[in-house]
Amino acid sequence: MAETLIAGVDGGASRTRAVIVASDGAVLAAATVQSASAYHREPEEAAAVVLAAVREAAARAGAGGRLTALGAGLAGADDPAVRERLARALAAEDLALVVHVDHDAAAALAGGLALEPGIVIVAGTGSIAFGVDAAGRRARAGGWGPLLDDEGSGYAIGRAVLRAAVRAHDGRGPATALAAAVAARFGLASLAGLKAAVRGAAIDEVAAVAPLAADAARAGDATARRILDRAAMGLAAMIAAVARALAPAPEALVATGGVFAAGDLIVGPMTAELERLGVRVVLRPARFPPAVGAALLAARAAGLAVPMRGGPPRAGEETAR
pLDDT in tens, 235-277: 999 999 999 999 899 999 999 999 999 999 999 999 999 999 9
Give 184-195 pLDDT, tens digit per residue: 999 999 999 999
Cα 301 off chain centre by: 22
Smallest CA-to-CA distance from 7 within 63, 49, 45, 46 is with 63
Cβ-contact 240, 275 below 8 angstroms: no
Cβ-contact 2, 288 below 8 angstroms: no
CA separation for the pair 128, 153 (Å, rounded): 9
CA separation for the pair 37, 167 (Å, rounded): 33
249: number of Cβ within 10 Å:
23
Cα 27 off chain centre by: 20
pTM of the entire predicted model: 0.90
The pLDDT of residue 4 is above 70? yes
Cβ-contact 14, 204 below 8 angstroms: yes
**Which domains are delineated in the chain?**
5-114+287-301 (3.30.420.40), 154-283 (3.30.420.40)
Give 300-318 pLDDT, tens digit per residue: 999 998 887 654 444 333 4
CA separation for the pair 274, 267 (Å, rounded): 10
276: number of Cβ within 10 Å:
11
Q: Residue 2: pLDDT band by 50, 70, 90 thresholds?
A: low
CA separation for the pair 287, 292 (Å, rounded): 10
One-letter identity of residue 124: G
Higher pLDDT, 39 or 109: 109
Nearest 10 degrees: Cα torsion 235, 237, 240, 241: -110
The pLDDT of residue 128 is above 50? yes
Q: What are phi and psi of 60, to 5 degrees?
A: -65, -30
Smallest CA-to-CA distance from 12 within 104, 140, 144 is with 104
